[in-house]
Structure 1
Amino acid sequence: MSQPESQDGEMIKTTFDAVTEELQPGVLLVRLSGEIDIATTHFASEAIQAAVAPPARMVLIDVSAVTFCSSAGLGNLVEARKLAGQQGIDLALVGVGRPVDRPLAITGLGGQFQIFSSAEEAVRAIDVQ
């Protein structure tokens, strides 16, 4: 997919990155950063789908560095929740700030996710359950 063009014909740069790390065996943290929009949703989806698979038992999606989340980005999160449920994997959002909290609240999707302020808090809470 190509980057969208601005009105003067120049390419619009959308910044996005996804890094996955294993916090402990079976517990993965996917750190998303930048803008999750139509230009980057494919990359976000790939990173999330790669993590939400056995042998993972818990996947945390860190959105603390996300600066913009469009409806395409919300779609990524909903798909992750659905995939995790099908695989029997716990999934939670971490570090939800205004760029992600606002669209979650407006759409009513916020209540469908476990949300924690930090990865450490999520691991403690979910491990206890």
Structure 2
Amino acid sequence: MSLLRVPGTRELPMRVTTRRSASAVVLAVHGELDLHTHRLLTDEAEALLAQPQPQLRHLIVDLSQQTFCDSSGLGALIVIRQRAAAAGLLTTLVGAHGVMERILHRTGLDYVFVCYQSAADAERALGLTLPRLPAQDNTP
């Protein structure tokens, strides 16, 4: 998991978690994807793509926990798609909702990316078994 802290605060505006299976990797964005945080996502994707993984076919970006996205965030998604395609991977967006879903539609990026409402929908459509998130302990 990669975290980004805003200097002078205790806030974590964004974090990226990674889950892998034999043929797919999921990069889940939690928080704001913007000018100050987009490099965290692209760095995580670049590190992943730098590792030889011959069975890997799908790079899935889970936006279900993403709370904000600006043009830098959109640019990061496009860069990730281009680099993944060069490595022979299909990039899929899942969980885009609210403003993000409208932005993808209005910019035409919903035609550039393969998009699904949820990871479960992508799993069914692509014939994958995606790695699950570990159970979280919510006790204080």
> Is TM-score (shorter-chain normalized) higher than 0.5?
yes
Which residue does 2:25 correspond to in 1?
28
| 1:25 aligned counterpart, secondary structure | coil
Alignment match of 1:18 (pick from 10, 16, 27): 16
**2: CA distance, partners of 1:72 / 1:63:** 15
Q: Identity rate of aligned residues, in percent?
A: 31
Unaligned runs of 5+ in 2: 129-140
Normalising to structure 2: TM-score of the pair? 0.74
**1: CA distance, partners of 2:59 / 2:120:** 12
Normalising to structure 1: TM-score of the pair? 0.80
Shift of 1:105: 2.1
Aligned residues: 121
- Residues 78-99 of structure 1: CA distance to partner in whole angstroms, max 9, x if unpaired? 0111111111112100111123
Unaligned runs of 5+ in 1: 5-9
Distance change (3 Å), C-alpha of 1:122 and 1:104 = same
Which residue does 2:47 correspond to in 1?
50
**1: CA distance, partners of 2:49 / 2:58:** 8
**2: CA distance, partners of 1:93 / 1:71:** 16
**2: CA distance, partners of 1:105 / 1:117:** 13
